A = this chain, B = another copy of it.
């Protein structure tokens, strides 16, 4: 008996077939499946590609349960349609990606999850249900402490430093080089305009790509970068504090996985009594939830 876990995200769509015990049997990935990021047809096509790859060596009749986690409002119909097209007839559950992220970090049924990747959201989870959420409002309205937020703070610090005619720092040099490829133009107020213009020429979400530069600068001791990451940790602490519930706290997403200063800043604010674990991937969480559904 096998289970299928699916992660429908803004960057990629991933499908994982495992045994009920969690051993990997098949895997597939394709581009974004989230209708917030890509057109509905493109998302559906990416989901079909990921499914086809994951199921290529699998007898679909042995798939006994499916769980899919999706960012944003989860619409089950397109997922069910894609699975039926692959010949899968078993029960299908579509849940928020915070639910699968929580299951990817713990075997306990209830607790709290904090995701900080390109975006940021915290949720109290009970079983396969979101009890309540905090933030998760997207780059324009929220996502405080996310990679987008960190990248934007770095762009602001770089522009302000140049407008003030202050000396550059490792962080502002790295950000300016990323935004304005080409030879450096020297420090003047005109360069503040150049930084700002370069940001507005791009898609807002591309600011998230600056976040790793902030992590690198902080790890090299740049105080401006350290301040940004500490503020990110403070925002994430405030977000998770709005929904904290008894049980473990699962941390997920690229910022909490790869940016040590943010993770440390968060953990030290949480204090030693909080049980913290790190999420595996969303599709692993989804597959675990599917196995748990079978066990009920």
Residues in A lying within 8 Å of B, measured CB to CB:
36, 72-73, 132-134, 137-138, 140-142, 152, 155-156, 159-160, 163-164, 189, 193, 196-197, 199-200, 204, 207
Contacts and interface: CB of A to CB of B under 8 A. Distances in A.
14 contacts: A72-B193, A73-B197, A133-B163, A133-B189, A134-B163, A137-B160, A137-B196, A140-B152, A140-B199, A140-B200, A141-B152, A141-B155, A141-B159, A204-B204
A133 B199 CA distance: 19
How many copies of this chain sit in the oligomeric assembly?
Answer: 2
Contacts of A189: 132-133
A285 to B, nearest CB: 22
Closest 10 CB pairs of A and B: A141-B156, A73-B193, A140-B204, A137-B196, A137-B159, A141-B155, A133-B163, A141-B199, A138-B200, A137-B156
Contact of A142 (B138, B156, B197, B207): B156
A236 to B, nearest CB: 16
A97 to B, nearest CB: 14
Interface of A is mostly: helix
A142 B137 CA distance: 18
B164 A132 contact: yes
Contacts of A207: 140
A288 to B, nearest CB: 25
Contact of A132 (B152, B163, B199): B163
Contacts of A133: 163, 189
Nearest to A135: B160
Contacts of A156: 137, 141-142
Nearest to A142: B156
A163 B242 CA distance: 12
A141 B196 contact: yes
Contacts of A193: 72-73
Contacts of A140: 152, 199-200, 204, 207
Contacts of A36: 200
A167 B173 CA distance: 48
Given A133-B189, A140-B152, 7 more contacts: A132-B163, A134-B163, A137-B159, A140-B200, A140-B204, A141-B199, A142-B156
A70 to B, nearest CB: 13
A176 to B, nearest CB: 14
